[in-house]
Amino acid sequence: MEPTLRNARVVGPVPYLKDGGKRVHIPLGPCLIEPVDGQRFDVIWGASGQRSAMLSMQDLETATSSGHLVLLEAVA
């Protein structure tokens, strides 16, 4: 994935760890994917972008290859 902000859509379960170690899912619907570094990505969602979760490269690849996270166009 090139290092740029991308539109995406969560269409199936995409798990992440909350503070305290609880495993939850990113809600279904639109989101943004922002690279943090070569191995981590911030997934941002909510009407005002008020929620986010950090995913590893492996977690992102698993979510996209399963079809649960659909990457769309880059944000201009």
Q: Is residue 42 part of a domain?
A: yes
Each residue's pLDDT tens digit, 11-56: 999 999 988 889 999 999 999 999 999 899 999 999 888 999 999 9
Q: Is residue 22 part of a domain?
A: no
Name residue 33's beta-bridge partners. 6, 43
Q: Is residue 1 part of a domain?
A: yes
pTM given for the model = 0.89
Q: Is residue 64 part of a domain?
A: yes
Q: Which of 34, 27, 33, 35 is nearest to 10 (CA)?
A: 27
| 41 vs 4: which has the higher pLDDT | 41
Q: Is residue 45 part of a domain?
A: yes
Number of domains in the chain: 1
Is the pLDDT confidence value at 1 over 50?
no
Q: Is residue 21 part of a domain?
A: no
Supply the range of the domain harboring residue 3: 1-16+33-76
Window from 10-14, 34-38, 57-61, 66-70 with minimum mean pLDDT: 34-38
Query: How big is the CA angle at 58 (ends 55 and 60), to the nearest 5 degrees?
Result: 50
Q: Which of 75, 28, 34, 72 is nearest to 54 (CA)?
A: 34
| 26 vs 2: which has the higher pLDDT | 26
Q: Which of 40, 46, 42 is nearest to 28 (CA)?
A: 46
Q: Is residue 58 part of a domain?
A: yes
Give the distance from CA 19 to its chain's centroid: 17
